[in-house]
Amino acid sequence: MQVKRYRLENWEWFQLLEEADIQEVSLEKGPLINSWFRDIKGNRSNYLHIDTSEEDQEILSGSLIYHREIDKKEDYEIFHFFLSRDTLITYDYKDNSLHIDRNNLIKEIKHAQTPIEGFMVILGKVMTDILYHIDAYEQQLEQLIWDVKQRNSIKTLDKVYQSRHELLVWKNVMIPFLEIRYSLEEAFGEEITKGKVYARVTKRIERGLILVEEYQKELNNLVNFEEVVSQHRGNEIMKTLTVFTTICTPIMAWGALWGMNFEIMPELKWKFGYVFSLAVIIGSTVVVYFYLKSRGWMGDLLKARKKNSFFR
């Protein structure tokens, strides 16, 4: 298979997909390519290496996870890169996203003045795909905000935490892009930041991270809100049970007293003993009820719940 090679004005891009391609490129670019491949071969995690030992021959290389499935830990795509002042090599990078136009990608890379700008074009396209997913997430979050009010339940709380996890995954994918941005400046100097492509992609990375941070704040507010509601309802249940037990205490006390089997119990022979016992039970219960109410301990427990209310 022939190596995909793009000869541009001042630099070259090798888009490699097979291990055999590495050997072909190393024959032209030297043993440094083989050394790089040994470092990244079999690597399945983000990795970054900077070599500034020789002036004007700096190298930035590594591996980058650029696509990940939210629900499957081991389902992700990673590509490896080698970047110098005149060469960009990508290995196993497949611009197969539905939201990346391959023709536009090649066109933009051909307009890049340096391999650094070309690499930033690739990062920018990947970030565009990530932002597409985050836009879809925004709609999901908006629906969740209203579900918390209209259909709040354990199921809704589970959705909140699922969304929280999804957001953490997207943030985990984007943070290495920020590290690469700073590594480019560290390796090649601040002069690379003056280009339009670099500035554009940098803003795109920052935009993605800012969106994630803001969505995290919204989710944290939802979680705090759910905790307040749950705590209030838990307190309400305990309050209800306490009030109910207190109100029923006279019934249980008098019932226990008159349920005793002593031989001498004058009340058993009274003509109106049954009516008297009912009156005592009801009267003492009413006294306890109004005492609790006068102390303000009844609260809103006896009021009907209102539709779309969080606490009533």
Segment 119-149, tens digit of pLDDT:
999 999 899 888 888 888 888 888 888 887 7
What is the C-alpha separation between 194 and 7, in angstroms, rounded? Answer: 23
What is the C-alpha separation between 209 and 211, in angstroms, rounded? Answer: 5
- When mean pLDDT is compared across 101-105, 171-175, 247-251, the lowest value belongs to 101-105
Which residue type does 40 have? I
**pTM for this one?**
0.73
pLDDT score of 115: 93
Residue 50 in any domain: the answer is yes
What is the C-alpha separation between 312 and 305, in angstroms, rounded? Answer: 5
Q: What is the mean pLDDT of the chain?
A: 83
What is the C-alpha separation between 155 and 166, in angstroms, rounded? Answer: 16
- When mean pLDDT is compared across 42-46, 165-169, 213-217, 306-310, the lowest value belongs to 306-310
Convert the pLDDT of each residue in 89-126 to its tens digit.
Answer: 999 887 655 445 566 788 888 888 899 999 999 999 89
- 2 band by pLDDT with thresholds 50, 70 and 90: low
From 54, 79, 94, the end of a domain falls on: 94
Pair 68, 46: CB distance under 8 Å: no
pLDDT over 70 at 246, yes or no: yes
Residue 190 in any domain: the answer is no
pLDDT over 50 at 287, yes or no: yes
pLDDT over 70 at 260, yes or no: yes
pLDDT score of 109: 85
Residue 173 in any domain: the answer is no
Residue 123 in any domain: the answer is no
pLDDT score of 297: 67
Residue 19 in any domain: the answer is yes
- 227 band by pLDDT with thresholds 50, 70 and 90: confident
Domain that holds residue 35: 1-94
User: How many C-beta atoms surround the C-beta of residue 312 within 10 A?
Assistant: 10
pLDDT score of 225: 79
DSSP H helical ranges for the chain:
19-29, 32-40, 102-111, 115-150, 154-188, 196-258, 273-294
How many Cα atoms sit within 13 Å of 168 on the Cβ side? Answer: 10
What is the C-alpha separation between 189 and 183, in angstroms, rounded? Answer: 9
Domain total in the chain: 2
Residue 67 in any domain: the answer is yes
Residue 125 in any domain: the answer is no
At 6, is the secondary structure helix, strand, or coil?
Answer: strand
From 27, 59, 94, the end of a domain falls on: 94
Residue 78 in any domain: the answer is yes
- 303 band by pLDDT with thresholds 50, 70 and 90: very low
From 94, 118, 152, the end of a domain falls on: 94
CATH no. for residue 286? 1.20.58
pLDDT score of 300: 53
Which letter, b or e, does each residue of 214-243 get, where b requires 16 or more Cβ atoms within 10 Å of its Cβ? ebeebbeebeebbeeeeeeeeeeeeeeeeb
For residues 2 and 134, which has the higher predicted lDDT (pLDDT)?
134
